[in-house]
């Protein structure tokens, strides 16, 4: 067979990714930088057998810690790089363990910007072990520029006050809630973790900027009038590095409804202490103003709070306060309950 390099734009291959997975955490010290690992644990738990990490890692998914050889013995077929860091580069310190995984009989799956096969040590090891190198952060070919043409069907986009605070979880939760209500719905993944979970999508941040809005249009094409596409948001319109990705996704998605995602524990943009976090009201106002470029009827359906650092009573109090302040339904999609039901129903109106 020889070494294989899969492309993330091949939907047939994505839907047959080798699993179960061993989740690699590198040496990260903050949960937000291991969001791929946590996303797979929470939304594809039946495909995860354990985690592995380097010395110095202080993050855990709670899955059993094991070596690649132990994971292979327990049925794992691939190691997934569960780390999401700025720049998307594969750290040199990771390479010995990635080679160890190949030697143990595991394929490698990566959502990093840097391609696995571009690293000679991995290419050589994959050829020797006849294992696959799978990059999922590769956009499809021949993406058109955005047209701005209004498309049939209904669309919901999750937006945020920052990165890595719940846009994917909110979109997945809302799509699942729509389906349970008998709504014709599809979750549309725009990042590496969502693509692995869903078995398809377009990594918007890997698309050349001139074509990013067109990629978003490709992701949510014309559909039946009552069909919903729930689109995973990326970045933040207020992020000094990633706002361009967020804006292209907003224009190309043409959402009828958007939901603002926010982590009340944060005060500054993650990793950028000189930039204060925007308020929820600022995000609503800017999203409506810019979103009207391609959908004059865009509205905010509600607010999704990440209250994972709070107890249930404090979370309920905060959600009620924010709902009264903004005049919108507010919920934590992971906590669910009546507040989340109200958010879902408001989005469907």
pLDDT at 8: 52
| Percentage above 70 pLDDT, the chain | 96
Which helix (H) or strand (E) covers residue 20, if one does?
none
Cβ atoms of 40 and 97 within 8 Å: the answer is no
Q: Residue 289: pLDDT above 70?
A: yes
Top-confidence residue, 334 or 8: 334
Mean pLDDT, residues 18-33 taken together: 94
The full set of domain ranges for the chain reads 4-135, 154-348
Cβ atoms of 186 and 174 within 8 Å: the answer is no
Cβ atoms of 126 and 135 within 8 Å: the answer is no
pLDDT at 7: 55
Distance CA 311, CA 58 (A): 23
Mean pLDDT, residues 297-325 taken together: 97
- Phi first, then psi: what are they for 97, rounded to 5°? -70, -35
Reported as a pLDDT band with limits 50, 70 and 90, residue 11 is low
Q: How many residues does the chain have?
A: 349
- Phi first, then psi: what are they for 252, rounded to 5°? -75, -30
Mean pLDDT, residues 200-215 taken together: 95
| Percentage above 90 pLDDT, the chain | 91
Mean pLDDT, residues 59-67 taken together: 97
pLDDT at 263: 97
- What count of other Cβ atoms lies within 10 Å of the Cβ of residue 334? 16
Mean pLDDT, residues 284-295 taken together: 98
DSSP-derived secondary structure for 274-311: TSBPPPHHHHHHHHHHHHTTT-TT-EEEEEEE--TTS-
The tens digit of pLDDT for each residue in 97-127 reads 999 999 999 999 999 999 999 999 999 999 9
pLDDT at 84: 87
The tens digit of pLDDT for each residue in 85-94 reads 878 899 999 9
pTM score: 0.92
The tens digit of pLDDT for each residue in 151-178 reads 999 999 999 999 999 999 999 999 999 9
pLDDT at 14: 65
4-135 has which CATH code? 3.40.50.720
pLDDT at 2: 43
154-348 has which CATH code? 3.40.50.300
Nearest CA-CA partner of 188 in 219, 144, 162, 147: 219
Q: Residue 13: pLDDT above 70?
A: no
- Evaluate whether 4-135 and 154-348 have a shared fold: yes
How far does Cα 149 stand from its chain's mean position? Answer: 26
What six digits make up the tokens of 74? 């327990």
């Amino acid at each position: 067979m020889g070494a294989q390099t899969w492309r993330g734009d091949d939907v047939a291959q994505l839907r047959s990714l080798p699993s179960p997975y061993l989740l690699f955490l590198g040496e990260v010290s903050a949960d937000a930088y291991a969001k791929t690992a946590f996303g797979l644990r929470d939304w594809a738990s039946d495909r995860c057998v354990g985690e592995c990490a380097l010395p110095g890692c202080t993050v855990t998914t709670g899955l059993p810690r094991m070596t690649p050889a132990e994971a292979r013995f327990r049925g794992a077929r691939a190691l997934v790089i569960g780390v999401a860091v700025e720049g998307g580069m594969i750290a040199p310190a990771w390479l010995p363990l990635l080679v160890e995984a190949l030697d143990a009989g595991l394929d490698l799956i990566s959502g990093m910007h840097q391609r696995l096969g571009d690293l000679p040590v991995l290419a050589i090891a994959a050829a020797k072990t006849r294992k696959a190198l799978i990059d999922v952060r590769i956009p499809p070919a021949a993406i058109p520029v955005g047209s701005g043409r209004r498309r049939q069907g209904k669309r919901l986009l999750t937006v945020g006050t920052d990165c890595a605070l719940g846009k994917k979880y909110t979109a997945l939760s809302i799509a699942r809630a729509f389906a349970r209500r008998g709504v014709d719905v599809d979750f549309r993944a725009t990042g590496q973790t969502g693509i692995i979970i869903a078995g398809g999508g377009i990594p918007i941040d890997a698309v050349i900027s001139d074509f990013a809005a067109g990629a978003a249009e490709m992701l949510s094409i014309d559909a039946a009038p009552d069909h919903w596409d729930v689109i995973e948001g990326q970045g933040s319109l207020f992020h000094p590095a990633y706002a361009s990705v967020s804006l292209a996704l907003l224009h190309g998605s043409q959402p009828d409804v958007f939901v603002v995602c926010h982590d009340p524990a944060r005060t500054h943009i993650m990793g950028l202490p000189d930039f204060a976090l925007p308020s929820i009201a600022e995000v609503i106002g800017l999203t409506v103003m810019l979103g009207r470029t391609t959908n004059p009827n865009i509205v905010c359906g509600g607010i999704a709070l990440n209250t994972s650092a709070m107890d249930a009573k404090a979370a309920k109090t905060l959600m009620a306060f924010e709902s009264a302040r903004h005049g919108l339904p507010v919920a934590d999609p992971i906590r669910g309950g009546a507040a989340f039901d109200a958010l879902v129903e408001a989005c469907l109106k």
